[in-house]
A = this chain, B = another copy of it.
Amino acid sequence: MFLSASMGIRMIKTIKEGSARLYVPNVNKPEQGRGEGFYNPAMTKNRDISVACLAVLFKVSKKRAKNRMRICDALTATGVRAIRYKKEVGGEVWACDVNENAIKLARKNAHLNKTKINFVNKDANAFLSENGFDFVDIDPYGSPVGFIAAAGRSLGREGYLAVTATDTAALNGVYPRVAERRYGIRSVRCFYSKELGTRILITSIIRILMQQDKAFQPLLCFQDRHYIRIFGSVSRGAKKCDALLDKMKYIVADKDMWEIREHPSEKSIGPIYIDTIQKRNFCVSVLKELKKRNLTGQNIVRLAAEELPEPFYYDTHFLSKKYKKPLVSLSKIIDTLSKRHKVSRTVFCPTAIKTDAGLEKILAAME
């Protein structure tokens, strides 16, 4: 194939995602990519939801009129994210990658899609430290922790940050020490791990941006397959940061249950951000965009929009096993509880509920 010789890429295939047609390396794992950049079809849902999020933020942006909202895909690889942002939303789009071959391929993809994207062949931290954006997307292979501070510097007084983490094993409690090194908080393996891991990542982002007196406010967060995805707003202000600190509590977490406490104790972890991580209005708007554009991820965003702000969920399968209760359908449990209590499903687990009812009443509803 004509691309191969000039770019050192052995095999190229063409795929379609959203509005974009793309040349991508014909490999199954990033390690096989030999530096051309890896295209991960498993991330299509992530990108679909990201397009919808950006569309919502673009609509409220003061810079919309002149199409001047500055968007940065800091680790672009094949360029798919940047190209979709440009074609499906608009704005000034920048795409950065430290790998020269990745940028070459991304350029060809932009050309193929007739999109005008500013490509930069540079270290992402160096690029973000010197350039200001309104929306920064950090979608690395592995942990995003090393890019958050530079993204914060790039966002100036205010902006939006989107973050992917694929090191879910560390965050979800499989490797507690790795989480402690990387995110500053010990994780725990438990039935509500997915939300705990997501909140550990959020807490870490909040802490890093707080060093710059910037407050990170989550808008939409979920786990899908092997990644965590977080969207949030960033705005400068020491008082806003202090308000976030007030929303961090200690979790006494074991595999059977959790307890939230004001103060630390021998077995507690944290402090962890325990306030709402799904901003309902935002999620509802994103869902509308997804429907309008006929994109995937609608079920995820619908669950996020409906989710109660209470931290952590009860997995009914886990409870059924532990307390020897029959496996009642989730709808039935929700129906029973909702007569007297707040109750919702959760984006983090298909067999779980969030509720203020307390364990006893949940168990009663499972009879």
With an 8 A cutoff between CB atoms, is A95 at the interface? no
Complex alpha-carbon distance, A125 and B268, angstroms: 35
Find residues 241-271 in chain A having any chain B CB closer than 8 Å to their own CB. 241-242, 245, 263-266, 268
- Chain A interface residue number, banded: 20 to 34
Closest chain B residue, CB of each to CB of A266: B263
For A18-46 the 0/1 string (1 means CB < 8 A from B) is: 00000000000000000000000000000
Contact B153–A181 (Cβ < 8 Å): no
Contact A181–B268 (Cβ < 8 Å): no
Comparing A72-80, A209-217, A317-325, the segment that makes contact with chain B is: A209-217
With an 8 A cutoff between CB atoms, is A238 at the interface? yes
Contact A242–B130 (Cβ < 8 Å): no
Contact A242–B181 (Cβ < 8 Å): yes
Closest chain B residue, CB of each to CB of A143: B211
A201 to chain B, nearest CB (A): 13
For A155-188 the 0/1 string (1 means CB < 8 A from B) is: 0000000000000000000000110111110000
19 A-B residue pairs with CB within 8 Å: A122-B130, A125-B125, A125-B149, A126-B127, A126-B129, A129-B150, A145-B211, A146-B149, A146-B211, A149-B149, A177-B245, A180-B245, A181-B238, A182-B210, A184-B184, A264-B265, A264-B266, A264-B268, A265-B265
- Give chain A's interface residues, CB within 8 Å of chain B: 122-123, 125-127, 129-130, 145-146, 149-150, 153, 177-178, 180-184, 207, 210-213, 238, 241-242, 245, 263-266, 268
Contacts of A177 in B (CB 8 A): 242, 245
Contacts of A123 in B (CB 8 A): 129-130
Pick the contact of A153 from B125, B130, B213 — CB < 8 Å? B125
Grouping DSSP codes into helix (H, G, I), strand (E, B) and loop, the A interface class, with mixed when no group exceeds half, is: helix
A177 to chain B, nearest CB (A): 6
A232 to chain B, nearest CB (A): 17
Closest chain B residue, CB of each to CB of A182: B211
Complex alpha-carbon distance, A235 and B145, angstroms: 19
A218 to chain B, nearest CB (A): 18
Indicate whether A181 sits within 8 Å of B241 (C-beta atoms), given known contacts A130-B123, A263-B266, A265-B264.
yes
Closest chain B residue, CB of each to CB of A264: B264
User: Nearest 6 pairs between A and B by C-beta?
Assistant: A264-B264, A125-B129, A263-B266, A126-B129, A126-B126, A126-B130
Contact A211–B129 (Cβ < 8 Å): no
Pick the contact of A211 from B150, B181, B210 — CB < 8 Å? B181
